[in-house]
Chain A
Amino acid sequence: MRRAFILLGLAPILMAQAEPKLVPDISARSIQIRYSFTGAQLLLFGAILYPGGRVPRHPADVIVVLKGPVEPILMREKAKIAGIWMNADSNRFRSAPSFYAVASSAPVRKLVDERTAAIYELGLQDLQLSPGGGALPDKERRFEAGLLDVRKRNGLYAENPHGVEISEGVLYRARISIPSQVPVGTYTAETFLVDKGKVIAAATKEIEIGKSGFERYVALAARRHGFLYGLAAVMLSLGLGWAAALAFRRRF
């Protein structure tokens, strides 16, 4: 990877005139959350089509980003007040992605400059979280760091600077693991082809992550028919309690 980087800097400008093309694909178009769901592994793979089929001496690098639906959140920060830890400060983020994983064939910072990274949101530091108005910059930074830290430890945010493998300069693949507590929704998988600090090709695919079967039914019932759902829960507990009482009456 380091060699690729050095080559990138030294290479003479011998690129073909036409831009290369990306043909991306994902191992699954949709992920179904069922009772046995403990997380999933997604394989993002594809081919880089260079004009004329000739692979240049310094193949381009690839960055893949998997992003979950954006949601507004409120973060609270605990502080020790009178010897007790309680929520003291809070900050809003209007557009925090619920899931974000980036993998690249070399560290993103070495592939593109800060501006490009910020435009394409190519890294945890470059997420556009849109913090809600009026907070001091260092408070904002503190909350941002906190958010990244919490989500990273939960496996919801991930960064893998060497997660993309490129074979023969034309086939790339990246593995991204999704933990069991991912939120449902439409995810986008973006693939960027980067050469000499510039994004020269990009492609987007969508993945639907949803609860299916019984899990979907339960989640829907809880949301739409709260009363009946509650009644079912009470019946279940009464029934099980009663059944156990009956089953054990003879034993003791």
Chain B
Amino acid sequence: MDIYLPIAGMSVNALLMVALGGLVGLLSGMFGVGGGFLTTPLLIFYGIPPTVAVASATTQITGASVSGAHAHWQRGGVDFKMSAVLIAGGAVGSLVGAGLFRLLQSSGQIDLVIGFLYVLLLGGIGGLMLKDALVALGWVKLEERTERPRHNRWVASLPLRWRFYASGLYISPLAPLALGFLAGVMTVLLGIGGGFILVPAMIYLFGMAARVVVGTSLVMILAVSAVTTMVHATTTQAVDIVLAGLLLIGGVIGAQYGAALATRLKPDLLRLALAAIILMVALRMLLGLTWRPDEIFTIEYL
């Protein structure tokens, strides 16, 4: 069943798009990540123009994080004060990211930067997760385990401290503000929600209470991806509502099944699987950068 995408200006197989959304939704429900890091590259491999892929994937992230955010909220797993600070940083970050996007686009190096950032981020975080999962499963034994301090020294040294009761933290709001900013820039540039950056940063850098980490990051992702959709709609005008709708239909249903599945699987195995998926995407991106590409020439409309 082919359907024409009015913004991308091409026809795609609708069922395939719904299936893609479903697959990503399943993963996002299982692992609590937005899934943008999978949607965007897959859409680009399919032949959707990169700008449209990034913008439409952002819209899908909003939908995929709604039910998760809602569930965590009802369980009391959201630190709203922390979310507000993160969102403030994220909103500014997405605006700055939009400026950066246009700058890189006109210099012609946007693909390179996107590819590079993907390899660095996914490779780094995937590697860390893989190590953690292997240690947790007892498949790899670390020689010496140094107790890491609960609070990062650098974060603790920042001035102006606030109390975040739900997170059990007394830290400077500048740290979450900077983290939010970074995630906002990523959301615009890479079409990822930033969940897989936010969650480890909140745990390892801030030492936030684990109970509120996922919920807070989901609320932040929800808000920032919505803001980013608006930024894309008004600047790049590349949000394809039909494509986003197709991805969403699959995505929101997949997310529900994923969440149900997650409760039945061993969390360490889940982390191992997620690490493997992330590393695979990073590897594919790395190959894309170093192997001779299919298209040497690209056409840009003036």
Q: Is the CB–CB distance between A78 and B293 below 8 Å?
A: yes
A183 to B299, CA, bound (A): 14
**Is B124's CB within 8 Å of the partner chain A?**
no
* B residues less than 8 Å from A203 (CB atoms): none
Residue ID in chain B nearest A221 by CB atoms: B241
* B residues less than 8 Å from A181 (CB atoms): 9-11
Q: Is the CB–CB distance between A76 and B4 below 8 Å?
A: no
Q: Is the CB–CB distance between B290 and A85 below 8 Å?
A: yes
**Is B237's CB within 8 Å of the partner chain A?**
yes
**Is B229's CB within 8 Å of the partner chain A?**
yes
**Is B129's CB within 8 Å of the partner chain A?**
no
**Is B78's CB within 8 Å of the partner chain A?**
no
A227-B233, A236-B244 in contact; A76/B63 too (CB < 8 A)? no
A87-B112, A234-B59 in contact; A244/B297 too (CB < 8 A)? no
* B residues less than 8 Å from A87 (CB atoms): 108-109, 111-112, 298
**Is B255's CB within 8 Å of the partner chain A?**
yes
In the assembled complex, the CB of A182 is this many whole angstroms from the nearest CB of chain B, namely: 8
**Is A28's CB within 8 Å of the partner chain B?**
no
**Is B269's CB within 8 Å of the partner chain A?**
no
* B residues less than 8 Å from A72 (CB atoms): 301-302
* A residues less than 8 Å from B136 (CB atoms): none
* A residues less than 8 Å from B71 (CB atoms): 245
Interface size class of A (residues with CB under 8 A): 35 or more
| A54-91 contact mask (Cβ, 8 Å, vs B): 1 or 0 | 00000000000000000111111110100111110010
A223 to B7, CA, bound (A): 10
Q: Is the CB–CB distance between A77 and B296 below 8 Å?
A: yes
In the assembled complex, the CB of B235 is this many whole angstroms from the nearest CB of chain A, namely: 8
| Pair count A-B, CB < 8 A | 186
* B residues less than 8 Å from A75 (CB atoms): 297-300
| A219-234 contact mask (Cβ, 8 Å, vs B): 1 or 0 | 1001100110111111
**Is B64's CB within 8 Å of the partner chain A?**
yes
Segment touching B, from A17-25, A34-42, A120-128:
A34-42
**Is B249's CB within 8 Å of the partner chain A?**
yes
Interface residues of B in 284-301 (CB under 8 A from A): 289-293, 295-301
Q: Is the CB–CB distance between A78 and B296 below 8 Å?
A: yes
Q: Which of A146, A219, A233, A240 has the most CB of B within 10 A?
A: A233
A237-B60, A245-B70 in contact; A73/B300 too (CB < 8 A)? yes
**Is A30's CB within 8 Å of the partner chain B?**
no
**Is A238's CB within 8 Å of the partner chain B?**
yes
Interface residues of B in 70-100 (CB under 8 A from A): 70-71
* B residues less than 8 Å from A50 (CB atoms): none
Q: Is the CB–CB distance between B62 and A237 below 8 Å?
A: yes
**Is B252's CB within 8 Å of the partner chain A?**
yes
Q: Is the CB–CB distance between B260 and A252 below 8 Å?
A: yes
Q: Is the CB–CB distance between B233 and A230 below 8 Å?
A: yes
In the assembled complex, the CB of A214 is this many whole angstroms from the nearest CB of chain B, namely: 8
* A residues less than 8 Å from B2 (CB atoms): 36, 38, 180
**Is B248's CB within 8 Å of the partner chain A?**
yes
* B residues less than 8 Å from A248 (CB atoms): 67, 253, 256, 260
| A130-153 contact mask (Cβ, 8 Å, vs B): 1 or 0 | 000000000000010011011100
A37-B11, A234-B59, A237-B59 in contact; A71/B301 too (CB < 8 A)? yes
**Is B19's CB within 8 Å of the partner chain A?**
no
Q: Is the CB–CB distance between B289 and A85 below 8 Å?
A: yes
* B residues less than 8 Å from A85 (CB atoms): 289-293
A240 to B67, CA, bound (A): 10
A240-B248, A245-B256 in contact; A218/B66 too (CB < 8 A)? no
The 3 closest A-B pairs by CB, nearest first: A230-B233, A241-B66, A245-B67
- A contact residues vs B (CB 8 Å cutoff): 33-39, 71-78, 80, 83-87, 90, 92, 143, 146-147, 149-151, 180-181, 183, 211, 214-216, 218-219, 222-223, 226-227, 229-234, 236-238, 240-245, 247-248, 251-252
Can you report 9 residue pairs joining A to B where beta carbons are below 8 Å apart? A74-B302, A180-B11, A226-B233, A226-B235, A229-B241, A230-B239, A234-B229, A236-B248, A245-B67
User: 13 other contacts beyond A85-B289, A248-B253, with CB at 8 A cut-off?
Assistant: A72-B302, A73-B299, A84-B112, A150-B297, A214-B6, A226-B234, A234-B59, A234-B226, A236-B244, A237-B229, A241-B63, A241-B64, A252-B259
